[in-house]
């Protein structure tokens, strides 16, 4: 018998959790263990359009694809509640998926609240939510806690994103190397005059570094892949959301920060995305740009997977496989068209 599902989407706000090493599984869906994955940078990265007409078409196709299965479309029923909590990087994408999923099934109420990656994972392990949206892998601490509670989570890659380095639109900086990024975010480089690609005249000013709280998946990714698992410098100004980072960078010519590339593109002219080079001798890696020809090159050094986690045992025993059905939709052709239309890299 088909059941009604209430899909409650909880997206990105400050939370508290311990951060450790990241772990990854070898496929887009599997029960987690402690094995490390292959390097994501070897995977093919797809370009995408960022256009409202494309997104509207994707939502229409998604609704049609969903019309024959999943939650009952009968009116007046009492639905089950499926709670999704997670990364603000994934917020718009999860909202769009939820809208398409709910539009195909009038009996399903889609509602959104706020949280963050770390809090979402903690809540999922505690059995308080159904799905965690995460812009990173589980840490050693989270894996140990799940093992202690005998929780076996299914990890599902649903999209990919690049991390954007953003500065004020009035900042003349052109590009940065990975070593320069490491220096800036660790505190070793603290004045703009130390950046080689920046004209020296009039640029001997302190760098204002904007970052995210420790529980942020984006911040954890940058700490691991740019800072070699070392802490951010003590001078960094920590903000609770990507939106706050963009607003702060926009207002300060000397500021630099990091957000998901899709969020940077959505910010438009408010900030400038700096291209990134592996070293002084390498060409500038492609960055994401809007339009049908936009994309990120395979050499872009700051790309990452985005995940939806759920507990199969909890889902089967108490929720009629509702979480799995929603996750399967997100990974489907219809779900991937939505992700691509918003500005994420797709997995199929």
The model's pLDDT over 121-177, given as tens digits with 9 standing for 90+, comes to 999 999 998 899 999 999 999 999 999 999 999 999 999 999 999 999 999 988 899
Q: What is the pTM of this model?
A: 0.72
Report how many domains make up the chain: 2
**300 phi, psi to nearest 5 deg:** -65, 125
- How many CB atoms lie under 10 A from the CB of residue 128? 11
User: What pLDDT digit, counting tens, does each position of 3-51 carry?
Assistant: 444 545 444 444 433 333 334 333 444 455 433 333 333 333 333 344 4
Domain coverage including residue 117: 5-161+305-342
pLDDT at 299 over 90: no
Whether residues 152 and 267 share a domain: the answer is no
Residue 47: is it exposed, middle or buried by C-beta count within 10 angstroms (0-12/13-18/19+)?
Answer: middle
Residue 202 lies in a domain: yes
Tell me: the pLDDT tens digits for 164-182? 999 999 999 888 999 999 9
Q: In this structure, what token pair is assigned to residue 331?
A: 């990974």
| Token pair in block for residue 265 | 């593109």
| 140 and 201 assigned to the same domain | no
Bridge partner residues of 19 (DSSP): none
- Position 14 in a domain: yes
């Amino acid at each position: 018998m088909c059941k009604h599902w209430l899909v409650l989407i909880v997206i990105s706000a400050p939370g508290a959790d311990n951060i450790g090493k990241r772990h990854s599984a070898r496929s887009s869906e599997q029960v987690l263990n402690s094995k490390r994955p292959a390097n994501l940078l070897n995977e093919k990265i797809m370009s995408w359009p960022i256009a409202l007409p494309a997104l509207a078409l994707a939502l229409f196709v998604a609704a049609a694809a969903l019309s024959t299965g999943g939650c009952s479309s009968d009116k007046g029923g009492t639905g089950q509640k499926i709670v999704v909590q997670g990364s603000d990087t994934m917020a718009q994408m999860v909202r769009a998926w939820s809208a398409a999923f709910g539009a195909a099934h009038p009996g399903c109420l889609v509602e959104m609240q706020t949280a963050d990656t770390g809090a979402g994972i903690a809540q999922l392990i505690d059995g308080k939510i159904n799905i965690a949206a995460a812009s990173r892998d589980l840490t050693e601490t989270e894996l140990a806690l799940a093992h202690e509670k005998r929780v076996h989570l299914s990890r599902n890659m649903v999209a990919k994103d690049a991390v954007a380095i953003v500065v004020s639109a009035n900042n003349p900086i052109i590009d940065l190397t990975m070593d320069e990024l490491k220096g800036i975010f660790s505190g070793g480089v603290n004045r703009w005059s130390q950046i080689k690609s920046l004209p020296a005249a009039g640029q001997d000013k302190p760098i204002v570094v904007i970052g995210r709280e420790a529980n942020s998946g984006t911040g954890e990714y940058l700490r691991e892949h740019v800072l070699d698992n070392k802490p951010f410098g003590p001078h960094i100004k920590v903000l609770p959301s990507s939106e706050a980072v963009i607003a702060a960078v926009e207002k300060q010519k000397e500021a630099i920060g990091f957000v998901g590339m899709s969020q940077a593109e959505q910010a438009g002219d408010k900030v400038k995305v700096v291209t990134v080079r592996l070293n002084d001798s390498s060409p500038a890696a492609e960055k994401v740009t809007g339009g049908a020809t936009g994309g990120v090159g395979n050499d872009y050094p700051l790309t990452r997977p985005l995940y939806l986690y759920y507990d199969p045992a909890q889902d089967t025993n108490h929720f009629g496989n509702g979480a799995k059905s929603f996750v399967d939709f997100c990974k489907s052709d219809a779900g991937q068209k939505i992700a691509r239309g918003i500005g994420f890299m797709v997995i199929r």
